[in-house]
Structure 1
Amino acid sequence: MRTPHHTVTHPRPSPLEDRDDQEDEPWEPPNHRRGGPRRRRRGRFTGLPVAVKAMAGFAVLGAFLVLGDRWAVLYAEHRAAQALRDRLDLAAAPEVEIGGFPFLTQLAGERLESVRVTVPDVAADRVSLAKVSATAHDIRLDTDGLTTLRGARVPRLDGDVLLSFADLSRELGASQVTFTGQGRDRIRARGTLPVAGHDLRLRAEARIQRQGERGIATEIGGMRLDIGGLATYRPGTRASEGLHLTPGAAADLARETRRAKALLSVPAIAHRMGVSDSALRAALSDDSRLTELTGSPGFARQAVRLDLIDLAVGHPEVLRRLGLDPALLDGLSRLTRPVLADRLTLAFDLPRPKQGDVRLRDVRVEKDGIRVRLTGAGLAVGGS
């Protein structure tokens, strides 16, 4: 016999009761975001892969390391420049550039790839070196940690020295002589030189040459002082050297009766010019014969060959009539070839290091001056 099943039915709330319940709850604006209001906001990098995040971190770390390494290089360059200025007694600190990267790794390994040093205005004998640049390669350091440097060894060094023409003109020529390049190994000097109150025009040539393996020197040639258009002085003892009339002045002398008579009135001068006693007497007594004598091709040629300084010793009055100051000739007689050459000579020797060797590799004349290239090996600095 089946037991009857009774279904319990709960009464549904009326629409009015349901509306009352909804009115009791506070109203809130709808939330359209995914996950509802309790979902936490995600960061902007949350969705990036881990590898990308790691790469970004390494990049930032690398930037800080590079920046720190560069600051260390700048500090080391500054300390090195100050030390060189004090040791070499320089007016200003030189430029120091440490090559290679990273610097701290090189320092920890006690070995630098290269160091370049540039020093301006270095005194060398009578002249100043406009710029001295040297690059040391593969430097081995002797350090005590990363803070103390006891010394260094330089297996190889390349250098460059410049003697500017501007400095040579100022220091050798006293602002009155200008030096310029003329070919690969020659320089030309042009200017004025004061002698006994007269400004004489100077011309000279200097040949630049190596002096051994450590120095350079100049061989001065073609020295010439012009006294207007009247005479030319070349220091020396050869027949072509001394004080001589210019061809133009000799030609004028042949046309001027007064100066010709003044010159021929001294028998010693006439004999030196090859004039016989009979021709001399005829020329001094008859102007037509004088014109015939001085108009000959040989007269002007012989007049140019006369050394006027020799004439000044015994016959200064003749030189006055020719338009030359005897005091000037006396000053020229003291301006010998060695004295004049010494005013234009430049030379210097490379310093000899206590350890290692430095020598010249090449010397040449360039547009801005004389450039000397040098090389070194086995050098040591400090206590190493």
Structure 2
Amino acid sequence: MIAVAACAAFLVLGDRCAVLYAEKKASEKIRDSLHLAAAPQVDIHGFPFLTQVLGKRLKRVDITVPHVDAGRVSVAEVRASGRDIRLTGDLPTAVRGAVVGRLDGDVRLSFADLNRELGASQVRFSDAGADTIAADGRLDLGGQELRVRARVQLRRTGDRGLVTDIDGMSVDVPHVATYRPGRDKGLTLHREAAERVARDAARAKALLSAPSLAARLGVGPEEVAAALRSEDRLHELTSAPRFVERLTKVNLVDAVADHPWVLRKIGVDPEVIAGLMRLRPPELTDRLSFSFRLPERAKDLKLRAVTVDHDGIRAGLGGVALPVGRAG
């Protein structure tokens, strides 16, 4: 019995040593065939291993590949599980390659990596819920740092790539106004800026002196005339809560062209606003965009469902009858 137990122990030990050797060789072959910077982690499941090799079939192999170069960004991690793997070569001494019957896994693009690798444009990405990404960045315009925000929607390009669609973009002039570029462009004052206008008689009069702006505030010609003549009537008009509320909703885009002096009077630099309005959406979206595509060497892999969580972006990965090494 002792002899049998000792033999069994040696067989188990030999089997495990063979597994470790095979995992190391498989890791090197995958690294070389896909030209990876680092060898992946390979875990071969099932016992005994040697009988699987003699039968030329492995039940399951798990692979983890860290930091795969994908162009502008890198993939934080690729996890895959291959099943029903047929080995090729003169077994058990020489394995030329394999054919993976079915592979399932996922690709992870972490926000930490995106933030670091796209940091040259000062953009930060985060989960915005409903599989949407929030982009928050900085833009220098005429020596003034502005804040750019947008919502980023992920879209698959075929079965092998991801790109971003940018919408809901806004550019903030700190403590002053928000500009929204695009077809329905708009420029609105922040509440704190609107409150400054309401408290300052000179600024309020300058605003009311532009008939089109006064009309958008819901102030009629007679009310405007009375407010411009009387400080008391002006204070009565501007101290009403609805005045500030309406002022934060008035689109000032037309004022840039028709009444540029009004912007300066109410504390908005017309040159900064004019510079903002000269920006085209493509110029801004390029700062917030990124894309990803599976390496050409992994041409048999396909991307599946794409989701967003608090750590980053995950995309399902799959394929059938995938060759590794010399599979023929």
Which residue number corresponds to residue 319 of structure 2? 376
Q: Aligned pair in 2 of structure 1 residues 85, 327: CA closer, same or farther (>3 Å)?
A: farther
1:228-377 to structure 2, matched below 5 A, reads 228-238=174-184, 241-265=185-209, 284=228, 287=231, 290-291=234-235, 300=244, 303-313=247-257, 315-351=259-295, 357-377=300-320
Which residue number corresponds to residue 31 of structure 1? none
Q: Aligned pair in 2 of structure 1 residues 285, 197: CA closer, same or farther (>3 Å)?
A: same
Paired letter, 2:151: E
Kindly report the root-mean-square deviation, in angstroms, between the aligned alpha carbons of the 2 structures: 3.4
1:231-281 Cα shifts (integer Å, max 9, x gaps): 11222231xx42211244334323322113333455665576677777766
Q: Contact 1:135–1:159 (CA<8 Å) still a contact in 2?
A: yes
Q: Contact 2:67–2:77 (CA<8 Å) still a contact in 1?
A: yes
Which residue number corresponds to residue 76 of structure 2? 130
Q: Which of 15, 25, 37 is 1:69 aligned to?
A: 15
Paired letter, 1:366: D
Cα shift at 1:308: 3.8
Q: Contact 1:184–1:366 (CA<8 Å) still a contact in 2?
A: no
3-state DSSP of counterpart to 1:74: helix
1:4-83 to structure 2, matched below 5 A, reads 55-83=1-29
Distance 1:136 1:297 in 2: 65
Paired letter, 1:199: E
Distance 2:198 2:223 in 1: 16
Q: Contact 1:119–1:132 (CA<8 Å) still a contact in 2?
A: yes
Range that drifts further, 99-108 or 169-178: 169-178
Cα shift at 1:192: 4.4
Residue 132 of structure 2 is aligned to residue 163 of structure 1? no
Cα shift at 1:366: 2.3
Which residue number corresponds to residue 150 of structure 2? 204
Distance 1:366 1:272 in 2: 42
Which residue number corresponds to residue 142 of structure 1? 88
Cα shift at 1:73: 2.2
3-state DSSP of counterpart to 2:301: strand
Distance 1:256 1:155 in 2: 75
3-state DSSP of counterpart to 2:171: strand
Cα shift at 1:377: 0.8
Distance 1:165 1:212 in 2: 23
Which residue number corresponds to residue 39 of structure 2? 93
1:259-314 Cα shifts (integer Å, max 9, x gaps): 13333455665576677777766655655565566567876566445444543346
Q: Contact 1:181–1:366 (CA<8 Å) still a contact in 2?
A: yes
Q: Aligned pair in 2 of structure 1 residues 343, 285: CA closer, same or farther (>3 Å)?
A: same
TM-score (ref. length: structure 2): 0.82
- Higher RCO (CA 8 Å, separation ≥ 6 residues): 2
Residue 124 of structure 2 is aligned to residue 181 of structure 1? no
TM-score (ref. length: structure 1): 0.71
Q: Aligned pair in 2 of structure 1 residues 224, 166: CA closer, same or farther (>3 Å)?
A: same
Distance 2:60 2:242 in 1: 71
Which residue number corresponds to residue 102 of structure 1? 48
Paired letter, 2:21: Y
Q: Contact 1:173–1:344 (CA<8 Å) still a contact in 2?
A: no
3-state DSSP of counterpart to 1:168: helix
3-state DSSP of counterpart to 2:315: strand
- How many residues end up aligned between the 2 structures? 327
Pick the structure with greater CA Rg. Answer: 1
Give percent identity, aligned residues only: 52
Distance 2:111 2:84 in 1: 34
